[in-house]
Amino acid sequence: MVQRISGQSLAQFTQERLFRPLGMGKTQWRDDFRRVVRGRAIAYRWTGKAWEQDMPFEDTYGHGALLTTVGDLLVWNEALTAGRLGPVVTAELQRQSKLNDGRTIASARGLFVDRHYSNLEIAHGGATAGYRTWLARYPERGFSVALLCNAADASSGDLGHKVVDAYLPPPPINAPEPSKPASEALEGRAGGYLDERTGLVSTLTVRDGSLVLRGLSPLTPVAPGRYSLAGGEVVFAPDGGFERRTAEGEAQRYRKIATWSPTPQELSAAAGRYASAEADATHILTLRDGKLTLTPEDRPSAAVALTPIYQDAFRISGADTVRLIRGQGGRVEGLSFWGPRIRDLRSVRVSD
């Protein structure tokens, strides 16, 4: 649309109309991935044995692929808060979506509008290849956080919230705090939990006598089996699972999962060739050095070792997981891929 209306490329248009006027002198698009950019950080991922480069070799941009600095990102946030982009832009970016039942949810126009404890939070993360980012704005407090990481295993949102909590500490609980659960009870709640709706796995750990969800701020006990967390709450169920409830009324149900240590025979039984008509993709599962390895048939250099996380499920990388689909007799007949942007994408076993 920008190209058709302005007669310029998106890169030219945004330089002239946005980045230069705002003083974002170190911001540009990755419209040519071969271009040498002064000061650019290389992205990496950990293979389990060593670090290796993990770069995005593509020219597509606009939906992402912005080369920038934390300083320029903070300039952008200040411009949104001050309305320097015009009276409509800030309001429209923050306009939240409504569901059919009338509920307003956190998802807005490329941003999430939520509450972090009592503070209005307008934020979004980003990821491509081995880069991880997070940008958050707290307009009521005149505060912003910009985070750029060049390691694929960096949890940028969790790291960013730790920075926020250091400068905007959670408010004290007015009601008398109930006695903390015994350490044995806390240890019993630690472990992995599965959100069946999204397929994502979260981890509860015990740190300094408190439960911590995915490295976020500690859960604050407010009643037996009930905790407050960043503007919402975590409520445990008798079956050992829990619900994470937001101030907007959304609830995510998590069930506790046990770790899984498959035998070489179990892993070998899953080896084979799997095809997805929907994704027009074929993957090959092989057993290498005691681990299942997933390889795109058309990109053998992109092979990745799978890590078991619970029964018949493996972590690919980051939050992405793949599950084994079994048929009659327990034979593995397919794969199901899950991640932050994908749910139950299936591949069928076409050969052993």
Please write the tens of the pLDDT for every residue from 251-276: 889 999 998 999 999 999 999 999 99
Residues 43 and 121 reside in one and the same domain: yes
Q: Which ranges of the chain would DSSP assign to H, the alpha helix?
A: 2-6, 10-14, 20-22, 70-82, 89-93, 156-167, 183-189, 264-268
Residue 177 located in a structural domain:
no
The pair of structure tokens assigned to 54 is 């993990």
**pLDDT reported for residue 246:** 76
Q: What CATH number does residue 240 fall under?
A: 2.40.128
Provide the residue range defining the domain that includes 220: 183-257
CA dihedral 321, 229, 140, 74 (to 10 degrees): -40
Q: Look-up: residue for tokens 């941009």?
A: 61
Q: What CATH number does residue 338 fall under?
A: 2.40.128.50
Residues 107 and 19 reside in one and the same domain: yes
Q: What pLDDT, in 10s, does the model give residues 59-114?
A: 999 989 999 999 999 999 999 999 999 879 999 999 999 989 888 888 899 899 98
Residue 173 located in a structural domain:
no
Q: What pLDDT, in 10s, does the model give residues 199-247?
A: 888 888 888 788 888 766 678 888 888 888 766 789 999 888 999 887 6
Q: How far apart are CA 310 and CA 261, in angstroms?
A: 8
The pair of structure tokens assigned to 117 is 């404890």
Q: Look-up: residue for tokens 């998590």?
A: 254
Q: Provide mean pLDDT across the span 132-144.
A: 96
Residue 96 one-letter amino acid: Q
Residue 172 located in a structural domain:
no
**pLDDT reported for residue 176:** 46
Residues 195 and 47 reside in one and the same domain: no
| Domain termination residue (choose one: 225, 242, 257) | 257
Residues 13 and 134 reside in one and the same domain: yes
- Mean pLDDT over all residues of the chain? 89
Residues 245 and 213 reside in one and the same domain: yes
CA dihedral 132, 158, 147, 129 (to 10 degrees): 0
Q: How far apart are CA 234 and CA 244, in angstroms?
A: 5
> Is the pLDDT at 177 greater than 60, yes or no?
no
Residue 95 located in a structural domain:
yes
**pLDDT reported for residue 231:** 65
Residue 208 located in a structural domain:
yes
Residues 235 and 342 reside in one and the same domain: no
Q: How far apart are CA 142 and CA 5, in angstroms?
A: 35
> Is the pLDDT at 180 greater than 80, yes or no?
no
| Domain termination residue (choose one: 223, 257, 291) | 257
Q: Provide mean pLDDT across the span 131-160.
A: 94
Q: What CATH number does residue 105 fall under?
A: 3.40.710.10
Number of domains in the chain: 3
Residue 126's DSSP bridge partners are: 133
Q: How far is CA 246 from the centre of its chain?
A: 17
Residues 250 and 309 reside in one and the same domain: no
Listing from the earlier edge strand, what are the strands of the sheet with 143-149?
112-116, 119-128, 131-138, 143-149
Residues 305 and 253 reside in one and the same domain: no
**pLDDT reported for residue 248:** 65
The pair of structure tokens assigned to 302 is 């992109």
Residues 145 and 86 reside in one and the same domain: yes
| Domain termination residue (choose one: 257, 278, 294) | 257
Residues 130 and 228 reside in one and the same domain: no
**pLDDT reported for residue 219:** 84
Closest by CA to 274, choosing from 186, 200, 201, 352, is 352
**pLDDT reported for residue 139:** 95
Residues 19 and 97 reside in one and the same domain: yes
Q: How far apart are CA 83 and CA 282, in angstroms?
A: 48
Residues 20 and 138 reside in one and the same domain: yes
